[in-house]
Amino acid sequence: MANHRIDRVGMEIKREVNEILHKKVRDPRVQDVTITDVQMLGDLSMAKVYYTIHSDLASDNQKAQIGLEKATGTIKRELGRNLTMYKIPDLTFIKDESIEYGNKIDQMLRDLESKN
């Protein structure tokens, strides 16, 4: 039952962080960032927030990471206003590589089909 609660809180934080990034954070480095997943620790004290960015440039990825780290305080403050939790979890932003990996696999399969 506790696992269901952890998943619900993670989904709520994902929704709220996406909304906060697009409406409250004015940093241009995070304008193209989309939150893809949130994984919570069992005691809800820490959240790993996975994000993706629409640009493939390494410099844009680095800028987005820095922008997210700078905006963490604002995001936590807004989460505190919007969520009814005793303690807002610490946020760690991690670039989601799964989408790029999936695109790479798709491309490899297409290349394999074109050779046949």
Residues 4-32 have a mean pLDDT of: 91
Element (H, E) at 38: strand 33-40
Residue 5's pLDDT band, with cuts at 50, 70 and 90, is confident
pLDDT at residue 69 above 80? yes
Q: What domains, with CATH codes, occur in the chain?
A: 3-114 (3.30.300.20)
Q: Tell me the pTM.
A: 0.83
CA distances from 62 to 28, 91, 94, 111 (A): 13, 18, 11, 30
- How do residues 20-41 score in pLDDT, each as one tens digit? 999 989 888 888 899 999 999 9
| Both structure tokens of 67 | 């922008």
pLDDT at residue 18 above 70? yes
Element (H, E) at 52: strand 46-53
